[in-house]
C-alpha cells in the first residue's frame, strides 16, 4: 500500500499559515546533532513519522500551537548540513530509510531545511539509539508497545492470507449449516482490521439489554447473536428459514459478509447497475459500524461474487465466469471508493454489459 504524499511545505504556504503541524508535518525550531540526547530526540521524530505515513520535518521554523510564528534560519554550510542530517538518519534508524530526501529554501542569510520522508511501506522503524518505536498521531509522537508494533506492521502478505482464510472458512460454515439461500449468485466480503493482530484487544461485545444493531444489505437492521468464534447478524427469509444476509464479527475482529441475490433477474434485466449503487451505501454503513467500535485502518478487504451461473438470466449475462473478484487490498477505510470502483468494473468487465 502506498500512502499519499502530503503537499510539500513551501515558504509561502508556511508564512501564510496554509500548512500547520499535523500527522504528516512537524516544525522544528532547531535540532542538535552534536549530542547523543539531541540526536536521539531528532531520530524519535523521524521514526514516528516513518511509522505513520509520508511526511515532512521542517527545520528552522518556530511554531505556536502548531502554526508558524517566525523563521529560525540555519546559518551553516547548506550542503554539509544536509549530508550530516541524512547520514544521521540513515545511521540511526533501523531499517535504514534509503528514500529520505532533503530540500531547502533561503531565508535571512540562512536557510530552512526540509526533510522529506516518503512512505516506505508497512515496516516497523526503530530508533537505534534508544531502541524505541514511536508513531506520529496528530501532531504528537506516541510510543508503541510490542503488541502495537506487531499489529501495525504486520506484512501485507499476512493480511492477504488471513482474509482469504477467513472467507474460505466462513463460506464453508454457511454451507455446512445450510444457512444461506442458494438459488442465485452470492456476494462475499472479508475484512481483516489491524486490531486482529493486537492480542490485548477485547473481543466484540454485542451489548447488554440494548443489543447492537447490524446493517443488512437488502435493507433494515438486525441484532448480533453469539455463534462459533464470534457473533452474527442474519436477515432470515421464509425460504426454509434461510438467510439472504449474514454479517459475522469474530472474536479476533475479523469481519465476514455473505449476501444472497446481490443482483437478480428483474423481468429480463439483471440488476447489476442497482448493485453498483447499493454497494457503496452499504459499505458506508459498515464503515460507520466499524468507526463506532473504534477500529482503525488499514483494513484488508477481499470482495467477490460467486455462483453466477445459478441464476438463470444472471448466468447468461456472465457467460465466461462463475465468479469474479479483486485481489485482497489494504485500504484506510472499508468504504474506499477506489477499491469499490475496481470491484464494480471487474463485475462489468466480466459481463455482457462490459
What percent of the chain is predicted at pLDDT more than 90? Answer: 67
In the block, cell 440494548 appears at 210
Nearest to 55 by CA among 89, 24, 9, 20: 24
Going from the C-alpha of 74 to that of each of 32, 103, 283, the distances in angstroms are 12, 13, 49
**Residues found in the chain:** 354
DSSP assignment, residue 10? Answer: P
**Torsion angles phi and psi, residue 7, rounded to 5:** -65, 130
One-character DSSP codes across 248-297: EEETTS-EEEEEE-SS-EETTEE-HHHHHHHHHHHHHHHHHHHHHTT--S
* CB 208 within 8 Å of CB 316: no
* Helix, strand, coil percent content, the chain, rounded in steps of 5: 30, 30, 40
Q: Is 222 helix (H, G, I), strand (E, B) or coil?
A: strand
Please compute the mean of the pLDDT values over residues 216-237 and round it to a whole number.
Answer: 92
DSSP assignment, residue 1? Answer: -
Rg (C-alpha) for the chain, rounded Å, is 25
* CB 283 within 8 Å of CB 268: no
Q: What is the pLDDT of residues 35-55, one digit of tens each?
A: 999 999 999 999 999 988 889
Cβ neighbours of 253 (radius 10 Å): 22
Cβ neighbours of 178 (radius 10 Å): 10
* CB 143 within 8 Å of CB 133: yes
Please compute the mean of the pLDDT values over residues 183-200 and round it to a whole number.
Answer: 89
* CB 337 within 8 Å of CB 279: no
Sequence-separated (6 or more) residues with CB below 8 Å from residue 237: 181, 243, 244
pTM, two decimal places? 0.67
Nearest to 68 by CA among 14, 148, 136, 132: 14
Residue 347 has pLDDT above 50, yes or no: yes
The domain ranges of the chain are 11-152, 156-349
Give me the pLDDT at residue 5, please.
55
Give me the pLDDT at residue 150, please.
77
> Topology of domain 11-152, per CATH?
3.30.950
Residue 251 has pLDDT above 60, yes or no: yes
Distance CA 42, CA 50 (A): 13
Going from the C-alpha of 206 to that of each of 157, 199, 225, the distances in angstroms are 31, 19, 7
Residue 2 has pLDDT above 60, yes or no: no
Give me the pLDDT at residue 1, please.
38
Distance CA 142, CA 83 (A): 28
> Cell triple for residue 245?
444476509
Amino acid at each position: 500500500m502506498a500512502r499519499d504524499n502530503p503537499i510539500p511545505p513551501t515558504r509561502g504556504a508556511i508564512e501564510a499559515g496554509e500548512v500547520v503541524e499535523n500527522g504528516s508535518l512537524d516544525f522544528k525550531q532547531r535540532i542538535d546533532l552534536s549530542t547523543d540526547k539531541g540526536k536521539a530526540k531528532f531520530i524519535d521524530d523521524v521514526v514516528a513519522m516513518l511509522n505513520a505515513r509520508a511526511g515532512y520535518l521542517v527545520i528552522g521554523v518556530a511554531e505556536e500551537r502548531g502554526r508558524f510564528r517566525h523563521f529560525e534560519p540555519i546559518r551553516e554550510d547548506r550542503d554539509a548540513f544536509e549530508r550530516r542530517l541524512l547520514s544521521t538518519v540513515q545511521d540511526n534508524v533501523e531499517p535504514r530509510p534509503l528514500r529520505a530526501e532533503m530540500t531547502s529554501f533561503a531565508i535571512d542569510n540562512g536557510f530552512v531545511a526540509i526533510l522529506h520522508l516518503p512512505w516506505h511501506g508497512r515496516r516497523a522503524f526503530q530508533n537505534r539509539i534508544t531502541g524505541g518505536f514511536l508513531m506520529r498521531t496528530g501532531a504528537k509522537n506516541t510510543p508503541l508497545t510490542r503488541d502495537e508494533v506487531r499489529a501495525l506492521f504486520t506484512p501485507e502478505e499476512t493480511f492477504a492470507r488471513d482474509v482469504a482464510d477467513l472467507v474460505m472458512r466462513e463460506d464453508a460454515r454457511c454451507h455446512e449449516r445450510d444457512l444461506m439461500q442458494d438459488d442465485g449468485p452470492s456476494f462475499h466480503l472479508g475484512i481483516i482490521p489491524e486490531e486482529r493482530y493486537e492480542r490485548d484487544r477485547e473481543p466484540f461485545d454485542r451489548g447488554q439489554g440494548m443489543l447492537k444493531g447490524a446493517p443488512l444489505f437488502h435493507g433494515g437492521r438486525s441484532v448480533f447473536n453469539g455463534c462459533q468464534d464470534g457473533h452474527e447478524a442474519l436477515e432470515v427469509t421464509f425460504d426454509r428459514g434461510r438467510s439472504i444476509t449474514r454479517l459475522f464479527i469474530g472474536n479476533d475482529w475479523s469481519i465476514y459478509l455473505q449476501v444472497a441475490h446481490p443482483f437478480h433477474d428483474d423481468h429480463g434485466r439483471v440488476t447489476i447497475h442497482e448493485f453498483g449503487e447499493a454497494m457503496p451505501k452499504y459499505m458506508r454503513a459498515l464503515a460507520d459500524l466499524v468507526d463506532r467500535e473504534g477500529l482503525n485502518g488499514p483494513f484488508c478487504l477481499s470482495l467477490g461474487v460467486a455462483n453466477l451461473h445459478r441464476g438463470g438470466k444472471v448466468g447468461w449475462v456472465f457467460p465466461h465466469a462463475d465468479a469474479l473478484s479483486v485481489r485482497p487490498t489494504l485500504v484506510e477505510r472499508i468504504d474506499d471508493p477506489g477499491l469499490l470502483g475496481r470491484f464494480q468494473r471487474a463485475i462489468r468487465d466480466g459481463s455482457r454489459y462490459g
